[in-house]
Amino acid sequence: MTKRFNDDWKPQTRLVHGGTLRSSFGETSEALYLTQGFVYETAEAAEARFKGEDPGFIYSRYANPTVDMFESRMGALEEAEDARATASGMAAVAAALLCSVKAGDHVVAARALFGSCRWIVETLMPRYGIETTLVDGTRMEAWEEAVRKNTKLFFLESPTNPTLEICDIASIAKLADSIGARLVVDNVFATPLLQKPLELGAHVVVYSATKHIDGQGRCLGGVVLSDKEWIDENLHDYFRHTGPSLSPFNAWTLLKGLETLPMRVRQQMESAAHVADYLADHPKVERVIYPGRPDHPQADLVKRQMKGGSTLVCLDIKGGKQGAFAFSNALEIIRISNNLGDAKSLITHPATTTHKNLSEEARLEAGIQQGTLRLSLGLEDTEDLLKDIEQALATV
Ligand SMILES: *Cc1c(COP(=O)(O)O)cnc(C)c1O
């Protein structure tokens, strides 16, 4: 990415103007460079470009002006030295993890992971001779006990999916530093606005831009952010030669998404807080987990580490699977879907969808009961959402 923002700009300004690369036409909105390649005036110019003497673009698998604007805007928001955009969140996670280790290395990861992330750690990495250990990421001692001589990488998500547990990023980063390992944080559930892993000491942060960054359910995307040296030495060649590149069209969509990210996250968080309070007092609800509430099991850590609760709420409904299904089916505004961070409020039953591949034991270990539901708040009017929830609970 190329840095294009003023250091004294606040986040909201960075999200509107950061990364903008105007063409000679002076367009207001970012231009969409839907091109595979670039032409050179002369053979000498091509030679210079390939030698790195001239910084222009070569091929859109390597870099593209619209994609570069997205990377630069994300870098401006995250205050990261460098960024690479990817075709999906999973491409970003895979790149960040695989470029951090080699055969013979050991990885420690928090066990409450997004299903595909867990597959990379648990199934894919061992195939290439990388040892892995999954731990309860909320227990600092578990990270310490899992460390081996060859531990090179820590990986976690916080808040976790779907039970919104919190890992202590600063302490885990400190432990990583003390053994010469690196910490990769998947920051999707927090969004770049509510938590800054790099500031807390993490070495790499990854996003599925598919979620809040697009925020309107249109396209997939991802991004890896870190220091320039690590990206140059570890990610650069992998990225160029394996081709997880983001389409310029999707980069353009995501750029426009970033402009409204703070307003959307604020509104969704406000609804989430209201809904969490409403559910916590409801007789048909057994448990509510919301990082913004004082009864969250790690409320102190939330305060230290995050700038707000979350746009998601986790709840256990009475009556197990039957209760959860009856409630979900009765909802009229909130739709059943496995996605999150969308303008539309979405409800998920993890035990039968996103987490169906876990054994019963692993599922319970992750705090997922048959009555557990994950609710992602959208941009609808909060009162309409509360009414919808009220009428649906009445049918359970
Ligand atoms: C959705 C998600 C991913 C994967 O992102 P895609 O864009 O769907 O590939 C990874 N991690 C977390 C926490 C997610 O929510």
Copy the structure tokens of residue 198: 């790099």
Confidence of residue 335 (pLDDT cuts 50, 70, 90): very high
Identify residue 112 by its one-letter amino acid code.
A
pLDDT digits (tens, 9 = 90+) for 175-205: 999 999 999 999 999 999 999 999 999 999 9
Q: Which residues line ligand 1 (CB under 6 A)?
A: 88-90, 93, 114, 117, 157, 161, 186, 188-189, 208, 210-211, 220, 222
Confidence of residue 323 (pLDDT cuts 50, 70, 90): very high
Residue 43 CA to ligand 1 center (angstroms) comes to 42
Where in the chain are the domains?
260-393
Instruction: Say if strands 106-110 and 312-317 run parallel, antiparallel, or are unpaired.
Output: unpaired
pLDDT at 326: 98
Give percent above pLDDT 70 in the chain.
Answer: 100
> CA 379 to CA 384: how far, in whole Å?
11
Q: Report the residue among 211, 250, 342, 348 best suited for mutation to probe ligand 1: largest number of ligand atoms under 8 A from its CB.
A: 211
pLDDT at 280: 97
Query: Tokens 């859109």 sit at which residue?
Result: 60
- Residue 112 is given by DSSP the state -
In this structure, the number of other CB atoms found within 10 A of the CB of residue 148 comes to 12
pLDDT at 2: 84
Distance of CA 348 to the CA centre of its chain: 18
389: three-class secondary structure by DSSP: helix
Average predicted confidence (pLDDT) for the chain: 96
Residue 392 CA to ligand 1 center (angstroms) comes to 29
Give the H or E element holding residue 312. strand 312-317
The average pLDDT across 262-267 equals 97
DSSP secondary structure string for all residues of 224-285: EEE-HHHIIIIIHHHHHHH--BPPHHHHHHHHHHHHHHHHHHHHHHHHHHHHHHHHHT-TTE
Q: Using alpha carbons, list the distances in angstroms from residue 335 to 123, 220, 381.
A: 32, 20, 15
pLDDT digits (tens, 9 = 90+) for 275-290: 999 999 999 999 999 9
Contact 263, 271 (CB under 8 A): no
pLDDT at 264: 98
Classify domain 260-393 at the CATH class level: alpha beta
Residue 46 CA to ligand 1 center (angstroms) comes to 38
pLDDT at 190: 95
271: three-class secondary structure by DSSP: helix
pLDDT at 3: 85
Nearest CA to ligand 1 atom 15: 188
Contact 272, 312 (CB under 8 A): yes
The average pLDDT across 121-126 equals 97
The average pLDDT across 206-223 equals 98
The average pLDDT across 50-55 equals 92
Residue 208 CA to ligand 1 center (angstroms) comes to 5
